[in-house]
Amino acid sequence: MNADMALGLIEETSSFSIQKTLKYLVDKFPGKVSFSTSFGMEDQVITDMIFSENLRIKLFTLDTGRHFEETYKIHNRTLSQYDKKIRVYHPDRNKVEDLLTTKGPFSFYESPENRKECCHIRKVEPLKRALQGVDIWITGLRRSQSEHRENLDKFVYDPDNQVIKYNPLLDWSLEQLKQYIKDHHVQYNILHDRGFASIGCAPCTRAIKPDQDFRAGRWWWENNSTQECGLHASSND
C-alpha cells in the first residue's frame, strides 16, 4: 500500500457509485477490506450499505470502556437488525489500569497531553491491532465535519497504519445522511436527536448548539485543540 495506489483507486472508481466501489474493493482486495464503526449516523449508513448487500467486508468497533449507554444500545440493536457480527476491540487492560492508578479516571481534563495519552491507549493502539492484515480501511469521514477534513480525498494513504483509507461519504451533507436513514429505515443513536453531532466517549462529548461547528462537542475544554483523537491524524484531518 502506498500513496500512488490511493491515487490509482481514485481514478479507477471515479465514475462508480458507493455500492459499486465497495464491491470493486472486495474483489480487488479479497479478505483485506475492513470498516470501523463507532455507531454514529455516518457509520450506520455505511453499515447498512455493507450488510444489506452481504459484502465480504469485516466490520469492527473500538470499545474504549467509556461509551454512552445509548451507544451500547445502538450497537446491540444493529446486531439484531442485521443478524451480523461486528468484531469488538478493547484497549490493553494493563495500560488502562496503570493510567487510572497513576493519574485517576479524569486525567484527560488536566492537559492536552493527558487527553492524547488516554486516546492513544483507548483508541489508537486498539485500532492498530484491528488493522493488522488490512489493505483498505473504510471510514465515515465527511468534509463538512470539520475544517481539518475539507481537503481529504476519497482514497488516502495512511502511512501510520500502512493502509489506504476509503471515505465513501466524503461529499455527503447531513441532509443526505438523514434522508438515507429515513428511506432505508436505518436505526441510529438517539443522542443525535439530543444535539450530539459527533459521539465519542461520554466524559469527552457533549451536545452542541445548531450554529456550532460539528466537532465542537468533542474535547470542548481544549480551546486550541484540533478536535481529533489521533485515529485520523496521518491524513491531516
Residue positions annotated with a catalytic role: 229
Residue 36: count of CB within 10 angstroms of its CB: 24
Chain centre to alpha carbon of residue 172: 15
SS (H, E, C) the chain: CCHHHHHHHHHHCCCCCHHHHHHHHHHHCCCCEEEECCCCHHHHHHHHHHHHCCCCCEEEEECCCCECHHHHHHHHHHHHHHCCCCEEECCCHHHHHHHHHHHCCCHHHCCHHHHHHHHHHHHHHHHHHHCCCCCEEECCCCHHHCHHHCCCCCEEEECCCCEEEECCCCCCCHHHHHHHHHHHCCCCCHHHHHCCCCCCEHHHECCCCCCCCCCCCECCCCCCCCCCCCCCHHHCC
Task: In whole angstroms, give the CA distance from residue 202 to residue 112.
Answer: 17
Pairing type for strands 163-166 and 87-89 reads unpaired
Grid cell locating 12: 479507477
